[in-house]
Amino acid sequence: MTYKVFIDGRHGTTGLKIDERLSGRDEIEILTIPEDKRKDPAVKAEFVNSADVVFLCLPDAASKESVSLLAPGNTRTRFLDASTAHRTNPDWVYGLPELNPGQRERVKNAQKVAVPGCHASGFIMLMHPLVAAGIVPADYPASTYSITGYSGGGKEMIASYEEAGELGDNMKSPRFYALGLAHKHLPEMQTLTGLANKPLFTPIVGNFAQGMVVAVPLLPRLLKQKVSAADIQRFFAEYYAGETFIKVMPSDPAPMLDNGFLPATTCNDTNRAEIFAFGHEDQILVAARFDNLGKGASGAAIQCMNIMLGLDETAGLAV
């Protein structure tokens, strides 16, 4: 069977990656809207309603507008929204199949799936299980920092790094941003983990194209039960047992490091996320490493599409 797919926002960073990942698949027919008709609502409505799956790779307002083009009674066309517009909307299913034992089935049966944000994906993979199990209390004063490649900032940021000639020292250095502490991923980071308060989130962009590490410090003295880093590693290993795309690293992660360093680029061009637990009896650091353009964006979207269409979940995705 061939499925018709329309990528609304095909020329953006995520749209281009989805197009690239789907272009070689025989069971997928990509519908291409004529360039001069991209902003014509009537033409776009035809494409939306003729597709089996619509990927929305648009700003929030444009994403909502495209969803509104769905014809009354059309229960066939299914949406995968990569914007932040619907990630905490209860009418949409959150597109992290590994979230809990029932989430994959919810994704499978959904007409509307919200693709997680890249930073949020790592934070939620780490914190949702710990809060749900009662290891981390809901009122825990959570904080997280996340370093990402510049591709996560879209075309303008990519151009600022790749087309600027010789970079100034200010661009060569890792740079904190969103210092107003109101990053757009915060609502889903709180809602999908069950935390009572938004975490203190400090993202960092580095002088590399893609790759990401999200890290969350934990203080055992503030947790509900006495646990060590090894205990947390074992908990994650059991929670994510059998998952293809989430790999929990050994309790002694030293052999997995690069001379003691944790590079952000190791999972690039895959849909794999690696989970780490470091620390000692007084302090624990949990971390998730993945490709911000893979499990953090286009890979996650295609994984959900595969599930929704009843296809092999790994189709078109590298582990």
* Per-residue model confidence as pLDDT tens digits over 46-105: 999 999 999 999 999 999 999 999 999 999 999 999 999 999 999 999 999 999 999 999
pTM above 0.85, yes or no: yes
Mean pLDDT of 119-135: 98
Per cent of the chain over pLDDT 70 is 100
Q: How far is CA 30 from the centre of its chain?
A: 23
Q: Dump pLDDT digits (tens) for 16-42.
A: 999 999 988 999 999 999 888 788 889
Residues, the chain: 319
- Burial (CB < 10 A; 0-12, 13-18, 19+), residue 101, is exposed
- 35-45 pLDDT, tens digit per residue, is 887 888 899 99
230 DSSP assignment:
H
Q: pLDDT band at 225, cuts 50/70/90?
A: confident
Summarize the confidence of residues 144-152 as an average pLDDT.
96
Q: What's the chain's average pLDDT?
A: 95
pLDDT of residue 224: 86
pLDDT at 261: 95
For residues 65 and 10, what is the distance between their CA atoms, to the nearest angstrom? 16
Q: How confident is the model at residue 1 (pLDDT cuts 50, 70, 90)?
A: confident
Condensed to tens digits (0 to 9), the pLDDT of residues 233-270 reads 999 999 999 999 999 999 887 788 999 999 999 999 99
Domains and CATH numbers, the chain: 3-116+297-308 (3.40.50.720), 118-292 (3.30.360.10)
What is the pLDDT, as a whole number, of residue 253? 76
Residue 7 burial (CB < 10 Å; 0-12/13-18/19+)? buried
Residue 166 pLDDT: 84
Q: With CA atoms as reference, report the closest residue to 294 among 275, 274, 267.
A: 267
Active site residues: 118
CB atoms within 10 A of CB 21: 21
